[in-house]
């Protein structure tokens, strides 16, 4: 059926004069260097499983590995030493975890020591739903594809002994424990412990799997890492100083750093396939997932279906004009946005409840996971609300269910565990912003109850808002330690309280609106007129002495700010830019301060709090052209089509969503505020296909009239054929009117 859909889609493209489909423009290698932390492996939209080359090798110091590149992802483009293919992975995150269930094919004599069996690799190819490479040392061609909950790999071997190893002992997770059980000559099952994301020990969880191999093994067995001799000596033989091979072991094996092998006699060019089903509930569910999603399908069937799935989702937005590089950047960004949050439930609907061992059922709904909310509330979730409202509603429902299960909304959730990473109370922002955009089909009463609980619970019992008692009374968080994140934490609470206020007002709760809104303006207490910047405060309300505005650049320890300087946070009050402008002394002073930020390289595109800065000139009438110039400068300077084409961690799609918005010409500066800030689009035409049942409209069309690609300055805007004099447009108005047209020129309109 899906191949028929793909054929019809191809016919449609041909008939409409389009030679390439959206998925053809995706380059999964973008972001795999420069700390982007993306991967080129095979995955489907919102997939639980991804099959990814693992090349952040434990083989320390080998000539093929750049050990200076921070490895928060299983793949780094400039490393050329591969030790297998992983099946559970995270994209674009800033801390290492997952990168596990590692399958490694080899040829020749069996060697199970991960420090010895690696290889260089070449001839990489990647497209949505497919990855391949050649393992130089072993003469093996390796190919990967995936479904929602399972992976498939295909290995073409040279003549001789062929080995397929399942290594549970290495990966990105700090946990090394697991269990293996040989079911038959072609199947093995087990589980692997994952966790300690950002080194939080409470985050340990099991992932269950079933692995099937397409050919019965001539020999098979287990291995286990040992620091000294031990165990039943007649059942093992030494393959190195530390790894013990169990060739007659018939029972299950559990412990630290274990693995299993299957060996075969292969003919030249013989193909052996490996199918892997995954579950976070049980081995039985992993088997059921594998059976449901791969039975009766060939490798080609699965790869074609994955590509068709990507085409279907990426076709929600059509872009025309621009260069091939522009389309590559845009659709690759869209591809990255659709990786997380990803589904968690098995085909039977079962999933692990939040913060407990209880197993629940979705009863036909989608349960999502990987909520990196401090990042994604700014761009990903507003984008999802507009373009994929069905999935966004499921994500919001998931967050509310997490509250029902654990008593708290998520902050940085990973497979049913709260990581407590970064600052603020970002779930408030996502819930309110989603509701205000018109997506109201969720348990609003419980959502508001949860938001109030977060805001009102005392700090001794509050798992999300630390220091909440002082904050509620004084509307700021004091500087108490030699280095802390006090200002950053407060700024995040201000945007959360602004959204709580907006939600309360929408629900006609004026008392809660006033309380939350007044708290959201507490940022003014931090404002120091001497610097026209925010400065940490002591408990007595006095400014912290020894303030250095640029301290915190390049992740150095800093007073009051998280991973950045005061410059990278001082404009981060998107809910009250006009108020900040008044504090700075008016429009001219505000613009001068923004200019200094950009001109003196004090702006960091990779840091979420200041990623909206280029759009702030629109708040200063007469300076809107600066937004157009700065946005285009950021697109060209920080985003590219090579592996280093992201400005840093993609942060589960956050940076990619910024790029998409900016290339289309509008941006949600302040979630919870329904006004988009306008800039000039990169493309000649953008068509966003809407869910008519939810939004009442079929599409939004954005058109551009320009003489040359270098024309980036807005001369005139039309909304549905009528002159439009503003540089902001309200969300519902854009949907209702449906047609924006920009006339651009080569010089600013001042």
Same domain, 167 and 22: yes
Other Cβ atoms less than 10 A from the Cβ of 199: the count is 11
- pLDDT category at 249 given cuts 50, 70, 90 is low
- pLDDT category at 68 given cuts 50, 70, 90 is very low
Domain stop point among 266, 293, 311:
311
- The verdict on residue 579 lying in a domain is no
Domain stop point among 311, 329, 364:
311
DSSP 543: B
- The verdict on residue 548 lying in a domain is no
Q: Are 76 and 55 contacting, i.e. CB atoms less than 8 angstroms apart?
A: yes
User: What CATH number should be reported for the domain holding residue 104?
Assistant: 2.70.98.10
Write the CB contacts of 558 (distance below 8 Å, at least 6 apart in sequence).
483, 551, 552, 564, 565
Same domain, 135 and 184: yes
Element (H, E) at 703: strand 699-705
Q: What is the value of pTM for the model shown?
A: 0.94
Same domain, 231 and 282: yes
Distances (CA, A) of 478 to 256, 467, 489, 523: 44, 9, 10, 12
Mutual orientation of helices 324-337 and 299-314 as an angle, nearest 10°? 100
User: What CATH number should be reported for the domain holding residue 429?
Assistant: 1.20.1050.60
Q: Are 213 and 186 contacting, i.e. CB atoms less than 8 angstroms apart?
A: yes
Strands 728-730, 739-745: pairing is unpaired
Write the CB contacts of 470 (distance below 8 Å, at least 6 apart in sequence).
459, 477, 478, 539
Q: What is the pLDDT of residues 49-67, one digit of tens each?
A: 999 999 985 544 344 444 3
Q: What is the pLDDT of residues 658-701, one digit of tens each?
A: 999 999 999 999 999 999 999 999 999 999 999 999 999 999 99
Q: Are 243 and 112 contacting, i.e. CB atoms less than 8 angstroms apart?
A: yes
Q: How far is CA 219 from the centre of its chain?
A: 41
Over residues 512-533, mean pLDDT: 98
Q: What is the pLDDT of residues 214-246, one digit of tens each?
A: 999 999 999 998 764 444 433 444 444 578 888
pLDDT of residue 227: 63
- The verdict on residue 710 lying in a domain is no
pLDDT at 19 over 80: no
Same domain, 230 and 350: no
- The verdict on residue 492 lying in a domain is no
Same domain, 300 and 357: no
Same domain, 41 and 99: yes
Q: What is the pLDDT of residues 310-354, one digit of tens each?
A: 999 999 999 999 999 999 999 999 999 999 999 999 999 999 999
Q: How far is CA 17 from the centre of its chain?
A: 34
Same domain, 296 and 428: no
Over residues 25-41, mean pLDDT: 96
- Number of domains within the chain: 2
Same domain, 364 and 273: no
Q: Phi first, then psi: what are they for 406, rounded to 5°?
A: -115, -15
Domain residues for 418? 345-450
Region of poorest pLDDT, from 58-62, 487-491, 517-521, 700-704: 58-62
- The verdict on residue 47 lying in a domain is yes
DSSP per residue, 82-137: B--EESB--SS-SS----BSEEEEEESS----TTTS-B-EEEEEEETTEEEEEETT
Among the listed residues 634, 632, 635, the one whose alpha carbon sits nearest the alpha carbon of residue 711: 632
DSSP 172: S
pLDDT of residue 555: 67
Domain stop point among 399, 416, 450:
450
Q: What is the pLDDT of residues 576-617, one digit of tens each?
A: 999 999 999 999 999 999 999 999 999 999 999 999 999 999
Same domain, 102 and 198: yes
- pLDDT above 70 covers a percentage of the chain that reads 92
Among the listed residues 311, 282, 88, 274, the one whose alpha carbon sits nearest the alpha carbon of residue 164: 274
Same domain, 56 and 193: yes
Q: Are 475 and 540 contacting, i.e. CB atoms less than 8 angstroms apart?
A: no
Among the listed residues 372, 378, 376, the one whose alpha carbon sits nearest the alpha carbon of residue 671: 378
Q: Could you tell me which residue, 78 or 299, shows the higher pLDDT?
A: 299
Over residues 242-268, mean pLDDT: 88
Query: To 10 degrees, the CA torsion angle through 309, 314, 317, 321?
Result: -130
- The verdict on residue 731 lying in a domain is no
Region of poorest pLDDT, from 3-17, 137-151, 358-372, 379-393: 3-17
- The verdict on residue 559 lying in a domain is no
- The verdict on residue 633 lying in a domain is no
Same domain, 160 and 203: yes
Q: In 262-411, where does DSSP find H-type helix?
A: 283-294, 299-314, 324-337, 373-376, 380-387, 389-406
Same domain, 289 and 159: yes
């Amino acid at each position: 059926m899906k191949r028929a859909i793909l054929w019809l889609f191809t016919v449609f493209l041909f008939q409409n004069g389009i030679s390439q489909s959206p998925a053809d423009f995706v380059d999964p290698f973008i972001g795999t260097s420069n700390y982007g932390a993306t991967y080129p492996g095979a995955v489907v939209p919102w997939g639980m499983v991804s099959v990814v080359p693992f090349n952040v090798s434990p083989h320390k110091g080998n000539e093929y590995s750049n050990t200076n590149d921070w490895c928060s992802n299983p793949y780094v483009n400039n490393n050329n030493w591969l030790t297998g293919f992983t099946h559970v992975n995270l994209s674009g995150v800033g801390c290492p975890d997952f990168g596990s269930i590692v399958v490694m094919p080899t040829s020749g004599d069996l060697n199970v020591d991960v420090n010895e069996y690696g290889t260089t690799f070449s001839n990489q190819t990647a497209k949505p739903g497919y990855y391949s490479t050649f393992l130089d040392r072993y003469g093996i061609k390796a190919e990967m594809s995936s479904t929602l909950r399972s992976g498939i790999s295909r290995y073409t071997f040279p003549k001789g002994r062929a080995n397929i190893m399942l290594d549970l002992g290495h990966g990105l997770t700090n946990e090394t424990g697991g269990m293996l059980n040989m079911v038959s000559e072609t199947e093995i099952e087990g589980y692997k412990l994952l966790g300690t994301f950002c080194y939080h020990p409470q985050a340990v969880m099991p992932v269950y799997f079933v692995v099937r191999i397409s050919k019965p093994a001539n020999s098979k067995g287990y291995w286990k890492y040992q620091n000294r001799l031990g165990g039943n000596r007649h059942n093992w033989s030494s393959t190195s100083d530390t790894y013990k091979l169990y060739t007659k072991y018939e029972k299950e094996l559990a412990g630290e750093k274990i693995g299993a092998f299957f060996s075969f006699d292969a003919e030249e060019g013989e193909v052996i396939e490996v199918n892997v089903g995954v579950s976070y509930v049980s081995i039985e569910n992993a088997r059921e997932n594998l059976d449901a999603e791969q039975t009766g399908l060939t490798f080609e069937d699965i790869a074609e279906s994955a590509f068709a799935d990507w085409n279907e989702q990426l076709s929600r937005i059509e872009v025309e004009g621009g260069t091939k590089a522009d389309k590559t950047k845009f659709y690759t960004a869209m591809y990255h946005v659709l990786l997380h949050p990803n589904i968690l439930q098995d085909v039977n609907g079962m999933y692990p409840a939040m913060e407990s061992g209880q197993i629940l059922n979705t009863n036909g709904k989608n349960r999502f996971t990987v909520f990196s909310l401090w990042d994604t509330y700014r761009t990903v979730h507003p984008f999802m609300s507009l373009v994929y409202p069905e999935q966004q509603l499921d994500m919001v429902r998931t967050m509310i269910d997490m509250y029902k299960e654990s008593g708290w909304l998520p902050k940085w959730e990973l497979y049913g565990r709260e990581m407590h990473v970064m600052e603020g109370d970002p779930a408030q922002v996502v819930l309110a912003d989603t509701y205000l955009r018109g997506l109201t089909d969720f348990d609003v009463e419980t959502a508001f109850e949860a938001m109030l609980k977060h805001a009102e619970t005392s700090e001794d019992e509050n798992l999300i808002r630390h220091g909440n008692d002082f904050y509620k009374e004084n509307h700021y968080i004091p500087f108490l330690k030699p280095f802390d994140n006090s200002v950053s934490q407060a700024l995040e609470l201000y945007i959360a309280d602004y959204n709580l206020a907006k939600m309360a007002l929408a629900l006609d709760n004026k008392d809660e609106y006033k309380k939350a809104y007044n708290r959201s303006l507490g940022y003014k207490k931090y404002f120091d007129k001497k610097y026209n910047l925010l400065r940490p405060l002591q408990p007595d309300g006095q400014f912290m002495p020894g303030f250095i505005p640029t301290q915190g650049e390049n992740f150095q320890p800093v007073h009051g700010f998280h991973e950045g300087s005061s410059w990278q946070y001082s404009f981060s009050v998107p809910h009250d830019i006009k108020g900040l402008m008044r504090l700075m002394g008016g429009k001219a002073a505000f613009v001068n301060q923004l200019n200094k930020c950009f001109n003196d390289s004090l702006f960091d595109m990779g840091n979420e709090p200041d990623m909206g800065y280029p759009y702030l000139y629109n708040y200063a009438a007469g300076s809107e052209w600066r937004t157009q110039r700065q946005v285009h400068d950021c697109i060209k300077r920080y985003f590219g089509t090579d592996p280093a084409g992201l400005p840093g961690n993609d942060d589960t799609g956050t940076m990619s969503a910024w790029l998409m918005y900016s290339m289309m010409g509008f941006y949600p500066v302040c979630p919870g505020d329904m006004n988009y800030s306008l800039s000039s689009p990169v493309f000649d035409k953008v068509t966003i296909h809407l869910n008519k049942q939810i939004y009442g409209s079929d599409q939004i069309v954005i058109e551009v009239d320009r003489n040359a690609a270098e024309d980036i300055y807005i001369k005139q805007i039309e909304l549905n054929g009528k002159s439009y004099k503003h540089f902001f447009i309200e969300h519902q108005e854009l949907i209702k009117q449906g047609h924006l047209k920009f006339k651009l020129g080569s010089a600013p309109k001042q």
